[in-house]
Structure 1
Amino acid sequence: MMGFSVPAARRSVRGVLAASVAALALHGAAVAQDGRKIEFNIEAQPLATALLDYARQAGVEIAVTPEVTRGRRAPAIKGAHDAQAALQALLRETPGVVVRRTPRGTVIIEAAPVDPEVQRSAYEVDTIVVTARKREEDLRSVAGSVSAMSGRQLDELGAQSFADYLTRVPGIQFNDAMPGYSSISVRGVSTTTSIDVGQASTGVYINDIPLADPFNSAGIPDVDTFDVQRVEVLRGPQGTLFGSAALGGAINYIAARADTGDRAGRIEAGVAGTAGAADPGYQVKGMINLPLIQDRLAVRAVATYRERAGYIDNIGVNTRDSNSMETFGGRLSVEWKPTDAVSISALSLYFESENDDAFTAFSTLPDLQRSTRLLEPFRSTTEIHSLRGDIDLGWASLTVQGAHSEKSTHNVTDFTNTFGGLFNRIPTQIPLIAERASKGDLIEARLTSSGDGDFEWLVGASYFDSRIDMPSYAEFAGAAALIESLYAGSHGAGVGQKAAPNDRFNDYFLRVNGQEKAVFGEASWRFAPSWTLTAGGRFFDTAIDHRSRQSGLATLLSTGSPNARPAAADASEQGFNPKISLRYEPSDDLMVYGLVSKGFRFGGPNAIAPNPAYPSPSSFDSDSLINYEVGVRASTPDRRWLVDATLYYIDWSDIQLLIVRGDNLAYADNVGSARNLGVDLAVTWRPTPSFAVSSTVGYLDAELSEALPAQGVVKGAMLPGASRWRLSNTLTWRGDAAVEPMLIASHRYISDAPSNLQGTLRQGDYNLFDLRGSVTLNDARLEAYVENLTDARGVTVSQMSGGVLRHHYVRPRTIGVRVTYDF
């Protein structure tokens, strides 16, 4: 964290001023050192102008080097503050500077020295600003379980997707299955390692725009982290400020916004080979930032393309490396600041991924092989358009954001063996085509208090409307004739055309509409120098409705009619989600907090035809949980040690559970409860300026509080994916040579866990080791890496389908090189 320090001068004041073409030199008295308050009235504006205003109002001489102010802005400072705290607040968004004072009282602000003797460490102690409370604040001042990785950290780790960084965060389970269709659980809050029938238990956001659907998600895009500003991971329910989808927690991508101050660009290219793959994989990425009007208007464009080599052979269709994958996307950001008090941001994003075959290997076959009658490709797309306005009102800032998102998936599954039993024989190929298309519209407005006084507050309102269409069908040539020959005797002549018009023998369509309206707020009161009380809440009103139809042979056999329209089961709910925390911060190096928060998610319809032989409810209700936690954030004064520790307990009730009826149709119901107890620990140690060790440990005991006899689940059953132990270790060394050498060695361990509630399927219990090394010359960096050094076969998800146990594995050993060039 940048501090207000007065180190010994390393060069003369004359040298600083000579290098400072835009130096601010104002005659006045020295900054008050007696702690008295000064009334400040400084608008949010370019940093250079803000420092001029500060100098006048504080009565102080200031000299600042131009590299400090170039392209930088300062927040508004209003009200009574002591001079040192006010200057610290002005420089809050300007990391890497040193502030010192001459004997006559002149304040000098300059870029921090990079001399190896004063270089801080392998991971510099950056001030990572997060928006977990929908206001910008230092990560280490948040009273809650928030982790964040800056864009620089992600880049140095070579992180490109969820699996590269979520597996390094304690308390997070990433069930790595189909890319773009994997699931995430936080602190064990999940009853499946696949996509939930209802709303996902973890919210995923891009610049605060929700990507989770209120029903049977249309896929969560694994957006490339190239040119991302940071990724925030919020553990524990975030229902107060983020709403429904964040039952267990939230992942928030913050894409880099256009910079109105400086031109910048980056080009990245790489090639990698995966063990056992016939062909290598490639990646090409680029970013350009162009100020069109200095400090007023800028655009930023990003493009990415990745081709990842397949490593599973499908012997059923004689295809090697069948699960190869391509991803590509683009992003356009526009930043307009018509005045110093107004900022308007526009973001458009498109991302697409496509793989040729599923990522499961069959346990009954040799290593990394599968066998199907046809390939099972999967394609997903995501499109987002948003517009955000921020207005500094002086006493508060107003933020208004509107966004439109569209997602789609197209999945082909080999159902030859599954459907074959309906025909007493198996045709050559029977594909099941499943599609999902969702649209979402969000509008949110909030007021956030200005300044850093003893009382801070935020109030807002939001409306989210979504629609998801889910058609699926199966067909093959000659289906109608085959059904006629098999079932005419029991169901009458013409049954073939009734059950399979145009040879489509299975047809299903579901449309679900969901709305969430809410008002929310949060306030913090520093009632004593070291104590802060925060309380907040969210009043919500959710509604969901649907319509569906289904037809075909399976419908005929289960209901007696080839067509069915399940009765609509619309639902609406209202409620209140509270949150309260107490923070004790006796110094800059220690914070202790306690927190109680609540989360919820949508209920929904069971849009399947009723069957008297297998009764099932027409809908299911929302579930909710209460999270209790205490945490500590501590560091040594020299920042060589950083420690974050959290102890939490979760009480989860009315759990939504996916259940399969006797006729193989699935529905959801609210059954049982669970309790999750755990500890999250993150430690960073910097023994020398060149070396750093970062470790995280997560311990979790997540189990059902009562038995579910109908599902064959006993009391105390471990929740799916809830590995008891998760470890991550990263060792970083940076050399002081001209080429800036860097080495990173990392390790991750995930203990054994069930993939289903019954515990019959298992995943986890593996170690991963990675090595990375790089050198930098001028603005170009060359990097070489080895991922999964030992070529481990770690099972990330297990599934039983068609009587065959199928495993999703971590990617085999991958060796690659990458070149980046910044300009």
Structure 2
Amino acid sequence: MMQGNGFSARAKGVLGRTAALPILSALACAPATALAQDQAPAAAAADEDPRTEAPRNEEIVVTASKRGNVYIQDIPYNISAVGGEQLEKTGATNLEDISRLVPGIATTGGRSNRTVIIRGLAASAGAPQVAIYLDETPLSGVGGINVRQSDLGLYDIERVEILRGPQGTLYGASSQGGTIRYITNKPDTNDFEGEIAGRAGLRARDGGMRLEGNAMLNLPLVQDLLAVRAVGYVRHVDGFVDLPALGLDGTDVEKTHGGRVQVALTPGPDTTITAMGLYQNTELEDTSRVLATADFRGNPVIEPYEDELKLFNLTVEQRFDFGTFTGTFSTYRRNSFFVFDQSQFVAPRWGSINQTGQLDSTSGEFRFSSDFKGPFQVVAGLFYEKRDFEGVSAGYYVDPDEGLPARPPEPFFVQPSEQFVRNSAAFVNATFDVTDRLTAEAGIRFYKMKRRNETELVLDVFGRPLGPQPTQRAKSDGNVKRFQLSYEINDDVLVYGIFSEGFREGGPNAPGLLGNYPLAFDPDLVKNYEAGWKSTFLDRQLLLNGALYYMTWDDIQVAQRDPTGAFVYTSNAGKADLKGAELEGRISPHSLQGFTANFAVRYSDQKLTEDNPLVVGPPPNPNAGREGERIPFTSKFSGNLGMEQKFEVQGLDMFARADISYIGSAYTTFSRTDPLRRKVGDYALVDLRLGVEEGGWDASLYVRNLFNERAFTNWTIESRPGIPDRVLTTDPREVGIQAAYRF
């Protein structure tokens, strides 16, 4: 088994079987959305807030509207949430697990380095299209070309909120497809509590063991005044990838550890001050990309990855009779190390590109959320963000006996670079109760962005001129809007209509590329037209929510390669339409005590509405994307189904659960005739769990990926012919035990 070297050392050294399941219907699944059963904490939170109604125990309370605690069924747009209990009982540890619980969400990329896709908005380049927040901190920042979004540890999380569709007015850039919010459990100034939890699993496909340990401690230092909550977690997952050329097995070992400390100070009943410090480090000793035919790679090149995150946030809330003022300040540093095989450009020798990067981000928001006595309410605020990235991309010849850069290093490419981003915005969102059942809402966000790229070419295998490259700049400003009408037909049925916009920042391309490429690319814009409803029937035994949407996507940011085939730049090209329907529900029959069934389905169609300009060139590329072709890596259908049955045996409270999730097929290219076209998706995963809860203890036996489905989740096609494709697959079947003790 390989041994990890640590981030600093590396950096210095390198610069469909669901039809067979009727017999499982007595088992059950984790609820897939906020229609889940993790309601006691949420209801309690709502009950403490005098602005809410009496608790409705079957619903989660969310804060996505930035207007305090609101029952999810009262929010007139498509939002789902997964509660903390469901995260624990389904063994969810990352973004991919969230995507299995909530249809319409997909992820691409490797572990702890993912791109999130909501409603089929899948671009090949540019900034993220889904904003990710940890409480009040936006985490979507500038990284290296190959560094995407961190995968935060999902332990001691109150809930994960998933907002579908553009959220540009309240959440700004990179929220075109939606927004994901991780809401942590906050310190409790009244009660002492703690938890110790663990998990051990055995994986198929020679995947070894998974071992996890978690701990939480809440200390009320001064009753009703001061509390501290500390969380720690560690995860070790053996690998299943083999490198026969090096005689190594199980190279893709994952090691993750992290934690956070939160301090809450409540100097008065209307004042809350919360500070949080977080640290997380994920180390992958090798990539999980393998050949499509088997779990190995032929080249003797090891591709490690490391992601280290340090974060601090301070949030102050001051409540008055007329509303709440919130001020929040965040800063984080993300160090990344990424290696990928580039032997195709230095044949007959072996070589890899090694990227080290450091992202420093500072952001702040000051906002007011009203609680007026009349029909008019408003949320308004100011936002500022500063992001600086410094990195080095270096190519080294690889020692074929070690799989790592030769010693002493033999570089063939070295390029340090810096990026500077400044983002400021002002936003306002107002609602007006036209009648006691009809509500109108309107919002607008004004933004201004500046970005500067600087780089130097120290060494280059392609013969480009060396030395400092011209500084490249880009700036953009504008606004995005939101309009909404909602109507309560009765106390159990709410309907709504929405127009909303979302955008991504533009920016300059990296200097020093060959060929005729644009020096900068513009923001791209999504417009969303949506109609939906939220409803409960039969004395809340049946809950049914749904939405229909139509979105237009203009000036799409797309990735292009320069004439060398090794370097990527971004340009704006083409338009697309995205149409879809989303439906989710929960059944809790009074006649079957302890039984709950949940389901959710999503159907969508994402197609270009005009040809990509590269179709006609120069030079012409008939596979660049024509009108009517589907956007790559987008599936038309996804869904999940789950059931849970609680029962008693010998005085012990027990439960049985089953999860079934399905992801439809997607393709890697626009054109059906493209020789690089490959199919991903079109698979179903089944999880089972049987558990017991007694006093402060709970334990469960589980099986994840029951049928050991080896399906493709991502496909990498090398840019030069003759190089084997590589794929990312679903994780192997895992059988294990999970237990926790709370005190």
Indicate the TM-score class for this superposition, using the shorter chain for normalisation.
0.7 to 0.9
Q: Which of residues 706, 711, 718 in structure 2 aligns to 1:789?
A: 706
Corresponding residue of 1:512:
419
For the residues of structure 2 that align with 1:652 and 1:733, how far apart are their CA atoms? 43
Normalised by the length of structure 2, the TM-score is 0.87
Q: 320-329 or 801-810, which moves further after superposition?
A: 801-810
| Pair 1:231 & 2:164 matched | no
| Pair 1:732 & 2:633 matched | no
| Pair 1:372 & 2:299 matched | yes
Corresponding residue of 1:698:
602
One-letter amino acid matched to 1:323: D
Q: Which of residues 245, 259, 270 in structure 2 aligns to 1:316?
A: 245
Corresponding residue of 2:556:
655
Corresponding residue of 2:510:
607
| Pair 1:272 & 2:205 matched | no
Q: Residue 689 of structure 1 aligns to a residue in which SS? A: coil
For the 8 Å contact 1:238–1:598, the answer to whether it is kept is yes
Query: How far did 1:323 drift?
Result: 1.0
Listed one character per residue, the Cα deviations across residues 177-234 of structure 1 (whole Å, up to 9, x for unaligned) are 3111121111111123xxx3x2111111111311112565743121121100110111
Q: Which of residues 338, 352, 358 in structure 1 aligns to 2:281?
A: 352
Q: Which of residues 306, 312, 321 in structure 2 aligns to 1:385?
A: 312
Corresponding residue of 2:655:
742
For the residues of structure 2 that align with 1:71 and 1:254, how far apart are their CA atoms? 13
For the residues of structure 2 that align with 1:433 and 1:465, how far apart are their CA atoms? 26
| Pair 1:171 & 2:141 matched | no
| Pair 1:674 & 2:576 matched | yes
Q: Which of residues 134, 137, 142 in structure 2 aligns to 1:206?
A: 134
One-letter amino acid matched to 1:172: I
Corresponding residue of 2:445:
538
Corresponding residue of 1:718:
630
Corresponding residue of 1:300:
229
For the residues of structure 1 that align with 2:42 and 2:533, how far apart are their CA atoms? 33
Query: How far did 1:71 drift?
Result: 10
* Closer, same or farther: CA 780–470 of 1 in aligned 2, 3 Å: same
Listed one character per residue, the Cα deviations across residues 340-363 of structure 1 (whole Å, up to 9, x for unaligned) are 121100011111111111111112
Q: Which of residues 190, 207, 217 in structure 2 aligns to 1:261?
A: 190
Query: How far did 1:335 drift?
Result: 0.4
For the residues of structure 2 that align with 1:321 and 1:71, how far apart are their CA atoms? 45
For the 8 Å contact 2:547–2:583, the answer to whether it is kept is yes
Q: 229-238 or 275-284, which moves further after superposition?
A: 275-284
Q: Residue 233 of structure 1 aligns to a residue in which SS? A: strand
| Pair 1:187 & 2:119 matched | yes
Q: Which of residues 345, 355, 360 in structure 2 aligns to 1:434?
A: 355
Q: How many residues align?
A: 675
One-letter amino acid matched to 1:438: L
Corresponding residue of 1:619:
520
Q: Residue 362 of structure 1 aligns to a residue in which SS? A: coil
Q: Equivalent residues in 2 for 1:151-162 (5 A)?
A: 151-162=84-95
For the residues of structure 2 that align with 1:341 and 1:598, how far apart are their CA atoms? 34
Normalised by the length of structure 1, the TM-score is 0.79
For the 8 Å contact 2:529–2:551, the answer to whether it is kept is yes
For the residues of structure 1 that align with 2:714 and 2:43, how far apart are their CA atoms? 50
Corresponding residue of 1:138:
71
Corresponding residue of 1:448:
369
For the residues of structure 1 that align with 2:158 and 2:45, how far apart are their CA atoms? 16
For the residues of structure 2 that align with 1:451 and 1:289, how far apart are their CA atoms? 35
One-letter amino acid matched to 2:245: G
For the 8 Å contact 1:463–1:517, the answer to whether it is kept is yes
For the 8 Å contact 1:785–1:816, the answer to whether it is kept is yes
For the residues of structure 2 that align with 1:226 and 1:502, how far apart are their CA atoms? 41
For the 8 Å contact 2:240–2:252, the answer to whether it is kept is yes
Listed one character per residue, the Cα deviations across residues 748-783 of structure 1 (whole Å, up to 9, x for unaligned) are 111110134456122101111110110112211111
One-letter amino acid matched to 2:176: L
| Pair 1:577 & 2:480 matched | yes
For the 8 Å contact 2:114–2:150, the answer to whether it is kept is no
Q: Unaligned 5+ residue runs, structure 2?
A: 1-40, 400-407
Q: Residue 360 of structure 1 aligns to a residue in which SS? A: coil
Q: Residue 173 of structure 1 aligns to a residue in which SS? A: strand
For the residues of structure 2 that align with 1:251 and 1:576, how far apart are their CA atoms? 22
One-letter amino acid matched to 2:568: A
Q: Equivalent residues in 2 for 1:356-505 (5 A)?
A: 356-363=285-292, 366-420=293-347, 425-426=348-349, 429-450=350-371, 453-476=374-397, 503-505=410-412
Q: Residue 540 of structure 1 aligns to a residue in which SS? A: strand
For the residues of structure 2 that align with 1:216 and 1:542, how far apart are their CA atoms? 19
Listed one character per residue, the Cα deviations across residues 260-300 of structure 1 (whole Å, up to 9, x for unaligned) are 12111111011101003263221110001010011111000
For the residues of structure 2 that align with 1:246 and 1:533, how far apart are their CA atoms? 22
For the 8 Å contact 2:316–2:328, the answer to whether it is kept is yes
Q: 158-167 or 738-747, which moves further after superposition?
A: 158-167
* Closer, same or farther: CA 477–451 of 1 in aligned 2, 3 Å: closer
One-letter amino acid matched to 1:174: T
Q: 209-218 or 632-641, which moves further after superposition?
A: 209-218
* Closer, same or farther: CA 70–159 of 1 in aligned 2, 3 Å: closer
> Identity percentage over the alignment?
26
Q: 632-641 or 329-338, which moves further after superposition?
A: 632-641
Q: 336-345 or 409-418, which moves further after superposition?
A: 409-418
For the residues of structure 2 that align with 1:442 and 1:133, how far apart are their CA atoms? 17
For the residues of structure 2 that align with 1:159 and 1:721, how far apart are their CA atoms? 23
Query: How far did 1:69 drift?
Result: 13
For the 8 Å contact 1:373–1:416, the answer to whether it is kept is no
One-letter amino acid matched to 1:768: L
One-letter amino acid matched to 1:180: S
For the residues of structure 1 that align with 2:84 and 2:699, how far apart are their CA atoms? 18
Alpha-carbon RMSD across the aligned residues, in angstroms, is 2.2
Corresponding residue of 1:775:
692
Query: How far did 1:339 drift?
Result: 1.1
For the residues of structure 2 that align with 1:260 and 1:532, how far apart are their CA atoms? 37
One-letter amino acid matched to 1:335: A
Q: Which of residues 814, 817, 823 in structure 1 aligns to 2:734?
A: 814
Listed one character per residue, the Cα deviations across residues 708-735 of structure 1 (whole Å, up to 9, x for unaligned) are 2144222222112210000111111111
Corresponding residue of 2:542:
641
* Closer, same or farther: CA 414–447 of 1 in aligned 2, 3 Å: same
Q: Which has the higher contact order (CA 8 A, sep 6+)?
A: 2
For the 8 Å contact 2:260–2:277, the answer to whether it is kept is yes
**Bigger Rg, which one:** 1
For the residues of structure 2 that align with 1:156 and 1:188, how far apart are their CA atoms? 28
